[in-house]
């Protein structure tokens, strides 16, 4: 395809990628350039016509209406927007982005993997890479070319509502997971049809804010930055990550969205990052005037329906020379390069051949493997595990039979949901696969229960971002009482904890015969049963990605703190 846009701009007259990008850049008006630097939400004050009129360069799907129940509905919708981009003067294609952070988790029926904290517990980079490959295929099959993942935060405070988005608190393990994840999303070449662009986030120090406050201030020395936080992003840059998202947090009092030293001087100039730097939600305005963000080195602003305000203010700053044309051209050059590398100038439309693979059995099989390998066995006394398929087993707790609760935030909805969703299996489903006599009671043990062994599934309710920041890092009284009641009835209790972070569970550990940290397993909850029953001889593999606290007063607990109840890396490897 050579002729682009209503002017029939002929890209084929130029021999190299660089020549084509420079020719496009030279032909663009200021409004066209600023449009490329602007991202908006397709369902929030943005129509296909606005894409054409305002030259918007990228759209995202996030919390809100969905295009429809089927993958075809989604691809039809995004292709509708893409056609309007093609009908602009130069026909520069759109980027379509999504927070596919543990699978294509915005589409009901897609495979949802364990959140990153569980993937880190597997210590299996090949599995992390395969999960990202599957996510790329299922995201492409719903019309996307770009994911805002992987999150490579290193959580240092259990209070933080995004602990589960990080793979681990360990720098070197984070680097391994970062490399594996980017390889999975982006493959050998971005232009391969089964790949999508990845995003390393949230640059920099998002997991190190004082008190674990989402969007708070990370007080870091230059040594902290260079020895702990920067190497993970250096690995992402060396791996060729397409984009990097700056965080809501500040570093030493300066918002990362305005941190010219860390974004322009360090990331771009020193590390040599040649990809796209983008804001987080509303980042082009949230922290100050647009020029403060763009001059810091940010290339794309994610503006949720308020693109007009951003565009108007940024244009004024260019016209009065507050923002140089050199800075604008640098940003647009990076954006055009990313689009070219993704193959959008060869075929900008949705990759419909991948729709039939969404939720495929072979994809679910990999996700189930991730679930069982992510489980960390913290305790196993009195031969509680593995379970015998022939014995009577009781299962209690609402988390046992609810795929929404077992998946956490960023699952179908931004804050997750408390109801099950299509295509998923629950922990109870898995137990029913292998046991012939299962009693289930959502409320707990009852006097008429025949089983001597009880699987009690307890945990947190779904949350995401700052709404998950909490000082209540323990189980609810309802869940505590459920475990206690079963133990007092003389049952052997196997506790399965569903959580996005370590919790203070000393009492529950003490009265449980076995205890499993199951994190947030995603859509294939049945994989928990693979460990419970030692299916096909499976033995526990998961190891703690963070040190586990014994007391609330010990928080924040550092990686190798000798006050830990269980040290970093702990996990029983046999029954």
Q: Which residues are catalytic?
A: 280, 465
Tokens standing for residue 565 = 């109840």
d(CA 243, CA 147): 9
Distance CA 489, CA 491 (A): 6
The CA–CA distances, whole Å, from 137 to 152, 179, 361 equal 21, 18, 14
Spatial separation of the C-alpha atoms in residues 308 and 292, rounded to whole Å: 17
Residue 133 · residue 194 · CB < 8 Å: yes
- Strand segments (E) across 265-340: 276-278, 301-302
Q: What is the DSSP string of 363-389?
A: HHHHHHHHHHHH-EEEEE-TT--SPPT
In whole angstroms, give the CA distance from residue 433 to residue 425: 11
Q: Which residues contact 63 (CB under 8 A, 6 or more apart)?
A: 413, 414, 415
CB 422, CB 465: distance < 8 Å: no
| DSSP 8-state class, residue 505 | -
Q: How many residues does the chain have?
A: 575
Quote the CA–CA distance of 457 and 396 in Å, as a whole number: 6
Interior angle at CA 44, CA 40 and CA 50, nearest 5:
65
At 150, give phi and psi (nearest 5°): -90, 150
Measured between alpha carbons, how far is 371 from 119 in angstroms, rounded to an integer? 8
In angstroms, rounded to a whole number, what is the distance separating the alpha carbons of residues 554 and 432? Answer: 40
Pair 251, 204: CB distance under 8 Å: yes
DSSP-derived secondary structure for 73-108: HHHHHHHHHHHHHHTSSS-PPPEEEE--SSBSTTST
């Amino acid at each position: 395809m050579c002729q682009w846009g209503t002017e029939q701009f002929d890209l084929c007259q130029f021999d190299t990628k660089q020549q084509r990008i420079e020719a496009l850049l030279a032909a663009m008006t200021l409004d066209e350039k600023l449009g490329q630097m602007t991202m908006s939400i397709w369902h929030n004050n943005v129509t296909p016509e606005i894409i054409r009129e305002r030259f918007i360069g990228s759209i995202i799907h996030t919390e809100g209406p969905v295009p429809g129940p089927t993958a075809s509905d989604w691809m039809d919708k995004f292709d509708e927007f893409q056609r309007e981009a093609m009908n602009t003067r130069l026909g520069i294609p759109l980027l379509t982005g999504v927070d596919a952070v543990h699978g294509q988790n915005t589409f009901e029926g897609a495979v949802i993997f364990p959140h990153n904290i569980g993937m880190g517990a597997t210590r299996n980079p090949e599995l992390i890479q395969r999960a990202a490959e599957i996510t790329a295929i299922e995201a492409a099959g719903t019309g996307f070319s770009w994911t805002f993942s992987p999150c490579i935060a290193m959580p240092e405070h259990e209070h933080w509502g995004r602990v589960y988005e990080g793979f681990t608190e360990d720098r070197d393990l984070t680097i391994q997971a970062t490399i594996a994840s980017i390889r999975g999303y982006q493959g050998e070449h971005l232009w391969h049809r089964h790949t999508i662009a990845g995003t390393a986030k949230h640059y920099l120090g998002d997991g190190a804010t004082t008190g674990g406050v989402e969007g708070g201030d990370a007080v870091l020395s230059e040594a902290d930055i260079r020895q702990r936080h920067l190497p993970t992003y250096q690995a992402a840059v060396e791996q060729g990550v397409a984009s990097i998202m700056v965080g809501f947090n500040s570093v030493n009092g300066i918002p990362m969205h305005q941190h010219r030293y860390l974004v322009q001087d360090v990331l771009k100039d020193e590390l040599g990052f040649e990809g796209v730097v983008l804001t987080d939600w509303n980042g082009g305005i949230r922290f100050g005037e647009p020029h403060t963000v763009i001059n810091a080195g940010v290339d794309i602003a994610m503006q949720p329906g308020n693109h007009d305000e951003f565009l108007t203010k940024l244009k004024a700053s260019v016209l009065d020379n507050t923002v140089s044309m050199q800075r604008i051209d640098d940003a647009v050059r990076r954006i055009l390069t990313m689009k070219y590398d993704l193959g959008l100038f060869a075929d900008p439309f949705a990759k419909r051949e991948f729709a039939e693979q969404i939720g495929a059995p072979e994809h679910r099989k990999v996700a189930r493997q991730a679930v069982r390998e992510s489980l960390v066995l913290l305790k196993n006394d009195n031969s509680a595990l593995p379970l015998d398929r022939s014995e009577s087993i009781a299962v209690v707790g609402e988390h046992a039979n609810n795929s929404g609760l077992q998946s956490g935030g960023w699952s179908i909805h931004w804050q997750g949901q408390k109801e099950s969703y299509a295509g998923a299996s629950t922990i109870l489903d898995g137990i029913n696969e292998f046991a012939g006599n299962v009693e289930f009671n959502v409320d707990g043990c009852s006097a008429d229960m025949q089983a001597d062994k009880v699987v009690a599934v307890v945990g947190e309710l779904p949350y995401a971002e700052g709404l998950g920041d909490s000082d209540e890092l323990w189980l609810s009284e309802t869940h505590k009482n459920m475990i206690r009641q079963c133990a007092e009835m003389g049952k052997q209790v196997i506790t399965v904890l569903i959580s996005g972070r370590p919790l203070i569970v000393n009492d529950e550990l003490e009265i449980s015969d076995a205890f499993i940290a199951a994190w947030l397993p995603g859509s294939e909850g049945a994989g928990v049963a693979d460990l419970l029953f030692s299916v096909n001889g499976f033995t526990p593999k998961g190891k703690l990605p963070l040190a586990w606290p014994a007391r609330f007063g010990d928080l924040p607990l550092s990686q190798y703190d000798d006050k830990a109840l269980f040290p970093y890396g702990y996990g029983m490897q046999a029954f």
